[in-house]
Amino acid sequence: MIVELLAVITIMVATMFSVIGVVGFRRLPDVYTRLHATGKVGVLGVVMLLIAAVLVTPLVWSKALVLILLLLVVGPVTAHVLALAAYELGIEMKEGQQDDLQGVFTGITAEKIRLQDTSEGVKRGLFE
């Protein structure tokens, strides 16, 4: 009985996190802040649903543990890959934030365009 009540509370909190993530995806101004919101759906929403599944049906705990570990690895990596792609595409931040990577990091694609057909680019192995 107490276990089922715990499962109900966990499922409601997970649903709340999923709704918060998608509302943030709707309302936040630019790509980078939206990535911050959608990360909550994967890491908090689905992981708490899996914890509730372990509480309700105890036989699935090994598969659920593997899936929790996979989600905890995959979620941040996906967010970083998408943010890197957005920065390399030149999508700008909104609302007066400061770009700390200005002039320090230009992505691999921009570096290739800058060093196109130069000896330095060939020396650094950017071209075949």
Partner 1 sequence: MSTLLIGTLYFSLAVHTLLIGYAVWRMWRGENRIDRLMGFDLIGTLILGVLVLIAMIEETSIFIDVGLGLTALGFVGVVALARYAVAGEVE
Binding-site ranges for partner 1 (CB under 8 A): 1, 4, 7-8, 11-12, 14-15, 18-19, 21-22, 25-26, 31, 34-35, 38, 41-42, 45-46, 49-50, 52-53, 56-57, 59-60, 63-64, 66-67, 70-71, 74, 77-78, 81-82, 84-86, 88-89, 91, 107-109
Alpha helices in the chain (DSSP H): 2-27, 31-40, 47-56, 61-89, 108-114, 119-123
For the CB of residue 123, give the shortest distance to partner 1 in the complex, in Å: 19
Give which of 2, 18, 7, 5 is closest to 57, Cα–Cα: 7
For the CB of residue 17, give the shortest distance to partner 1 in the complex, in Å: 10
By beta-carbon proximity to partner 1, the closer residue of 7 and 115 is 7
By beta-carbon proximity to partner 1, the closer residue of 22 and 115 is 22
- Calculate helix-pair angle for 61-89, 47-56, nearest 10 degrees: 170
Give which of 16, 67, 23 is closest to 44, Cα–Cα: 16
